[in-house]
Structure 1
């Protein structure tokens, strides 16, 4: 059975207002306790969007907000590919075409790309809505080339998330609060040893480099 979050994400009406209305309001929830989450998100995205001839994968891209940002400074044959399971979200993404971007409909648990296909793989503000999310982390690692980078922005368990009723409501909606070491432990289990892990307000950011084989 689809979670409440999945139903929303596949709804054309919700998809149409996601980027302009829902996403800004939802992002503010991550900044409870300070403005740091939005600032760190902006800085990390700017780093990932640096100039160069690179291939980037944006997993669970939704309407392509991050996809377009990540593609903005690519050069030569550089390209950013967004992948999402929601046709409604992808319809919004392709309605705002940008050079060096393309979109694929697919399942993050089984990314339809060869091993080591991308220089950079990102999953921002989405992993907490994906059922059984940890195998997705394995897939992020698999499709990253040796020496490439994996970037994740997702939820983290904090005193706020443990307030009475918050975790229960989150589970009912299909929202997952990750433990502080849940993502980094999974990356290590997948063979990634070099990473920066930053917890800011109600969110966590991981920037990892895939080990050379």
Structure 2
């Protein structure tokens, strides 16, 4: 397990992750606030009713709980993470009537094909050992007509971009280029692909055809 993944599995980080760590790191890397990211996540996933939502690498569950509150009827959100300290924090701080948490490997999700109307992974694919396998799994469990949205690292074809890849490699953080996820989504048959870049982060969303 690399340095980045070991850090994410510590109870100390789980305790401060959403209160201090993530807001500060994401603002420095993207210039965006957590509230803006959450609003955009709801819009990208087109949440407005009794949908079933899967949040991959949910951490302490703040995003998962927020998404669950935008659902109605029989809608619910499931947060999946591999870190036991993060899930313990999620169950303590972000329980709710429309949310559940499960420990699982993002590369081998324990769900049937087409189980969810919306699938997301915000700020974690660069930590997963095989991010492309995890992305394929996300698409596999996405129902026809459903939406997928990810936020992950972005490196430009520049000296700064090359340096960020080197530093990321030392710590276990992958840095992705412009093409990786739009091309993968297209190869998997997704449509309505949208990519937006904010500094060192990219936001990519798409639809699985009905």
Q: TM-score, normalised by structure 1?
A: 0.90
Deviations 1:120-150 (A, max 9, x none): 0001111111112111110110000011000
Q: Are residues 1:25 and 2:24 paired?
A: yes
CA distance in structure 2 between the partners assigned to 1:191 and 1:65 by the alignment: 31
Residue 155 (structure 1) aligned to one of 133, 146, 153: 153
RMSD between superposed Cα atoms in Å: 1.8
1:119 aligns with 2:117: yes
Q: Does the CA contact (< 8 Å) of 1:119 and 1:145 recur in 2?
A: yes
Where does structure 1 differ by over 6 angstroms across 4 or more consecutive aligned residues?
A: none
State the distance in 1 between where 2:66 and 2:146 align: 19
CA distance in structure 1 between the aligned counterparts of 2:176 and 2:35, rounded to whole angstroms: 21
CA contact (8 A) 1:62 1:93 kept: yes
Shift of 1:27: 0.6
Residue pairs, 1:84-163, within 5 angstroms: 84-96=81-93, 97-158=95-156, 159=158, 161-162=160-161
Query: Superposition pairs for residues 160-171 of structure 1, below 5 Å?
Result: 161-162=160-161, 164=163, 166-171=164-169
Is there any run of 5+ residues in structure 1 with no aligned partner, and where? none
Retained in 2: the 8 A contact 1:161–1:177? no
How far 1:57 moved relative to its partner? 0.2
> Counterpart in 1 of 2:58?
61
**Counterpart Cα distance in 2 of 1:85 and 1:161:** 31
Matched residue of 1:107: which SS? coil
SS of corresponding position for 2:126:
helix
**How many residues are aligned here?**
207
SS of aligned partner of 1:114: coil
Shift in alpha-carbon separation, 1:36–1:44, aligned structure 2, 3 A? same
Following the alignment from structure 1 to structure 2, what is the Cα–Cα distance between the partners of residues 195 and 106? 27
- The aligned counterpart of 1:210 is 208
- The C-alpha deviation readout for 1:59-118, integer Å capped at 9, x for no partner, is 010000110111012111110000000011000000021220000100000011000000
Structure 2 length as normaliser, TM-score?
0.91
Q: Is the 8 A contact 2:46 2:147 kept in 1?
A: no
- 1:197 aligned residue: 195
Q: Give 1:82's aligned residue.
A: 79
